[in-house]
Every structure is written in C-alpha cells, then in structure tokens.
Structure 1
Amino acid sequence: MAKNSKIEWTTHTFNPWWGCVKMSPACKFCYAESWSKRLGKNVWGINSERRLFGPKHWAEPLAWNRAALVTGERPRVFCASMADVFEDRRDLDGERAKLWELIGETAGLDWLLLTKRPDLACQLTPWGDNWPDNVWIGTTTEDQQWADHRLSSLARIPAKVRFISAEPLLGPVRLGPWSQYIHWVITGGESGPNARPSSPSWFRALLNECMAADIPFHFKQWGDWAPGQGLNLSKARHAAAADGTTMLRIGKKSAGRLLDGEQWNGLPKVDRG
C-alpha cells in the first residue's frame, strides 16, 4: 500500500503508522483492521500500540516528489489508508510532526488527509489559518447523521481542497448548505465478507446534487453488491436494498464501477495561483 495504489482516486498511499479506533458505523467492518490482523499486527483499539516505521519508509514520498518534479505531474498521496492522522493520542504527536515536515518537503505532491475526526484537524496541525496548498482534507460521511456531524467541522478548515468520502455509503446523504464548502465527492459501496448493500438511489441522488452544485463526483465502486436487474445469476445471493432494489452479491470485480452505464472519475480543480 504505497507507490502506484490500486485505489482509483489516488496515485500513491502513505501511512505514517498503522492502527486506529473505530468511530462510527462505517468502521464496523474495517478493511484496514482485517488486513492488519491477517498480518499478525495487533494495532486496533484504544489500548493497542500503533505500528511505526523507519527511515526507509519515510523516504518514499521524497522519491515520489523528485520524480514529480521531473515529469511535471502532480501525484495524489492518500494519507492514511491504515490509520487516521488525527487520532487524538499523545504518543503519535512525534510521528505527526514528522508527517507535517515531510509534507513541507514534498511540494510536488498533493497530500489527501482523509479523517473521521475533522474536529481535531486544526488542533493537531501546525498551520493555523495558512494550510499548505498541497494539502487536501476530507472526511467520511457514510450517512446523513455523520454528514451532519462532520461537515460543520470540515467546512471550517482552511484547506485548498475539502472533500468527502461517502464510502461505504450506508444511507442517503444530502450536502445541502454544506455543498458550498465541498470541492470533491467520492462515494462507493462496501466490499468484504460482511459487506452491506447500498441503495442505487443514494448514489444517484448524490450525483445529481453534485452536478447541480458543480462538484466533481467520483464513483469508486459498487462493492460486493450490484443491482440485479439484467443479470442472469440465479444462484447469486440477493438482498433488497433500502430503496427496494434487488441487489446481487457478485463480488467487487464483477460488480465494477459503472453507475448508470458510465464511469464517474471527477477530480477537483485546484487553483495554483
């Protein structure tokens, strides 16, 4: 989970550490927890130590930055897929300080900080009202309750790009008055052995709202469940989504990422002036 990420909306991933504490329903079947346990790393929960890394790991983004300066491209770095950089633990403050320094040394990279704790972002960063141009801040909004809870904090962060990750989408989400503060929307369904099906109407409503507000929209995946209409898979497990759509469990690869026959790969437009 580093160079050349398989996550569609980023170029690379970088983890300053591994481990976290579950915060909300989106965390229930956390892929990062499952992956770390599969590798024998007990890093999840409030009492567990976090997995830290050495100089070689921390040098990787410096190499990406050097390459970016040569090619003229701007890689996007998702930070962190196996943690939350704003987890409120004092034993992580030193690692966070290293991360802020690294971000300052890699102006050729756009750093995407995705958190379930946007209320702590300004408190745990050193930038005050002058966030670096290469830092994007996002928060998870899996349903309306958590969108309402987190978007008020996200809106106050003075970052160049503010985005939401409505993945896994577990209920309808309306941006409403917060749409003026959002520069990008990522959404998708859940994958994994315990994946919960999302309603297609939730994705379509979010897409329509983004189109009306001129917000770039990225549909990452259906996840393990896809709409059953038109699929002749009589042996596939099926379930009714909240909107009544018959959803078939056909696996992430087969489900794909087409929404109404199209790929939605929207990216924010960043003013570099």
Structure 2
Amino acid sequence: MRADSAIEWTESTWNPVTGCDRVSAGCDNCYALALAKRLQAMGSPRYRVDGDPRTSGPGFGVTLHHDLVDAPRAWRRPRIVFVNSMSDLFHARVPLAFIQRVFETMEATPQHTYQVLTKRATRLARLAPQLSWPDNVWMGVSVENAQQLDRVNELRKVPAAVRFLSCEPLLGPLDSLDLTGISWVIVGGESGPRYRPVDLEWVRRVRDACSLSDVPFFFKQWGGRTPKIAGRELDGRLWDQMPVAATG
C-alpha cells in the first residue's frame, strides 16, 4: 500500500486483494504481474502465492488480505484511492462477502474517494444490486479495444455516482464508443519491453468523443519501454480533466 502513488490519476493505492489472471489483450503485458514476481523474489509476505502459469505467474495468485480491509478507516487526510492496483476486486475468486466488506469500508469513510477498476464487467453488473453505492465510490471498466466495448454496457447498469473508463493500454480504435452515462475517460499507451505502440489518431478520436459528450478526459501517457519516456502531452498540452466529485 502506498501513501503516495505514481499513477497520475490517483493519490494512493489500497490492495485488500492481490493477484489476478489474464482475461483479454490488455492483460498481455500486465505491470502488476511483473511487479508481483519481483516482490516475491524480495520476500514480500503479500506475494507468496503463485498463480496459474497459463494465466498468471509467481506471486500473483489471488490472495485476500483480511487485515487490510479496514486500513482506510485510520487515514486522517482525505485522499483519492485506487482500489486493488494489484488485482481485480471482481475476480471470480473474490467472494461476494469479501467484496461487501470492502464496500462497507468505503461507505464508512466518505472523506476519501475510491476508484475501483475491473475487467470483469459481467460479474460487476451481476453483483452490483448486492452492494452499497455511496457517492465516494467511482466504478470503472478497462476498455483496451473495440472487442471490449460490451464492458461499457455492463458498467451502465451499475448505480455508481461516477462511472469511468480506463482505455489503457489503448490497443486499437474505439470509433463506436458510446459515452452515455459515463463520467470520465482515461487513455494511455502501453509501457514495458514488449509494449505495443498507440496510434495518435486513436487517442484523438477518444478525446474528441469526450469533448462532444462533455465528459472529462485524462491522457495518462504515450508509453514506450518505460512509462514516462514519451511524455504525456497530446497536441501540445496536458489533459488532466477529472470528474467534479473528486476530493483530496
């Protein structure tokens, strides 16, 4: 858990769950999987469980950290919190009862804003009626290419105050993207030694769609071998728009 995150669109991370499995092309070069392997090699007790080598890897088996569920209750300074940067809260191996405990903590700490992001949009929509949805919980889905646009339809079923999209890594055009009911869009290129370059026009089209729909647009990075190598400017400026509901 970090008090200060290097992720541009958040302030802190909170990982009551670690570990995951690849489910689509956006997972191919997962930074969290690579980081988990390093943390296991360093002896971190949170990353002892290995995942299935076909879909996961060393230190990246899904693990519930019951001792961390209540951690935000002790944080005095209001902050924006990315929930499970090292996992997916709606993974099939995370029980509903545990997810409900995480949501109870978020509801009990309205001074913080929580950003929850999933690729398991179908399970999210199915479980949403059994969860509380306070205004400080932002719910997002990852959409890396047009093949994953159905995730946006599932997200629209969720009664979150803020629904957002993370189009990172953006791996193809999203020309039929429908932003109805969406409050925020993040776009970023892939980084790492096997990164796939993002096309300028793909990014511009998402930005322009956001502009037409009056949806805040956040451009995180161009990507490359390292996340910062190509910078963050798009057409000569930074795009750091956020939903109005942010606290911190």
Give the structure-2-normalised TM-score.
0.86
Equivalent residue number for residue 234 of structure 1: none
Equivalent residue number for residue 205 of structure 1: 205
Equivalent residue number for residue 268 of structure 1: 243
Equivalent residue number for residue 60 of structure 1: 71
Q: 1:108 aligns with which of 95, 100, 111?
A: 111
Instruction: Tell me, in whole angstroms, the C-alpha distance in 2 between the residues paired with 1:218 and 1:43.
Output: 34
Instruction: Tell me, in whole angstroms, the C-alpha distance in 1 between the residues paired with 2:32 and 2:246.
Output: 33
Highest RCO, 1 vs 2 (Cα 8 Å, sep ≥ 6): 2
Contact 1:84/1:116, CA 8 A, preserved across alignment? yes
* Cα distance, 1:253 vs structure 2: 2.5
CA offset digits 1:178-223 (Å, max 9, x no partner): 3121110000001111111010110011111111111100000011
* Cα distance, 1:175 vs structure 2: 5.1
Contact 2:219/2:240, CA 8 A, preserved across alignment? yes
Over alpha carbons, which structure has the higher Rg?
1
Q: Is residue 2:212 matched to residue 1:252?
A: no
Equivalent residue number for residue 51 of structure 2: 44
* Cα distance, 1:49 vs structure 2: 4.4
Equivalent residue number for residue 183 of structure 1: 183
Q: 2:101 aligns with which of 98, 120, 126?
A: 98
Instruction: Tell me, in whole angstroms, the C-alpha distance in 2 between the residues paired with 1:126 and 1:4.
Output: 32
Equivalent residue number for residue 85 of structure 1: 89
Paired residue type of 1:51: T
Instruction: Tell me, in whole angstroms, the C-alpha distance in 1 between the residues paired with 2:6 and 2:215.
Output: 24
Instruction: Tell me, in whole angstroms, the C-alpha distance in 1 between the residues paired with 2:32 and 2:212.
Output: 34
Give the structure-1-normalised TM-score.
0.79
Instruction: Tell me, in whole angstroms, the C-alpha distance in 2 between the residues paired with 1:202 and 1:59.
Output: 40
Q: Is residue 2:170 matched to residue 1:160?
A: no
Contact 1:3/1:11, CA 8 A, preserved across alignment? yes
User: Quick one: structure 1 residues 171 and 49, their matched pair in 2 at CA, closer, same or farther if it must change by over 3 Å?
Assistant: closer
* Cα distance, 1:94 vs structure 2: 4.3
State the identity %.
Answer: 40
* Cα distance, 1:122 vs structure 2: 3.9
Paired residue type of 2:166: S
**Residue aligned with 2:180, SS:** helix
**Residue aligned with 2:107, SS:** helix
Contact 2:187/2:219, CA 8 A, preserved across alignment? yes
Q: Which consecutive residues of structure 1, in runs of 5 or more, have no partner in the other structure?
A: 69-74, 225-248
Contact 2:128/2:158, CA 8 A, preserved across alignment? no
**Residue aligned with 2:228, SS:** helix
Equivalent residue number for residue 43 of structure 2: none
Q: Which consecutive residues of structure 2, in runs of 5 or more, have no partner in the other structure?
A: 41-46
CA offset digits 1:95-146 (Å, max 9, x no partner): 3232122112211111111000122124335656x62111111001101111
Q: What is the RMSD computed on CA atoms of the aligned residues? A: 2.3
Equivalent residue number for residue 195 of structure 1: 195
Which structure 2 residues correspond to residues 23-34 of structure 1 after superposition, within 5 A?
23-34=23-34
Contact 1:43/1:49, CA 8 A, preserved across alignment? yes
CA offset digits 1:35-83 (Å, max 9, x no partner): 111222344347974233353x34431232x322xxxxxx211111111
Contact 1:16/1:95, CA 8 A, preserved across alignment? no
Q: Is residue 2:147 matched to residue 1:140?
A: no
Contact 1:43/1:51, CA 8 A, preserved across alignment? no
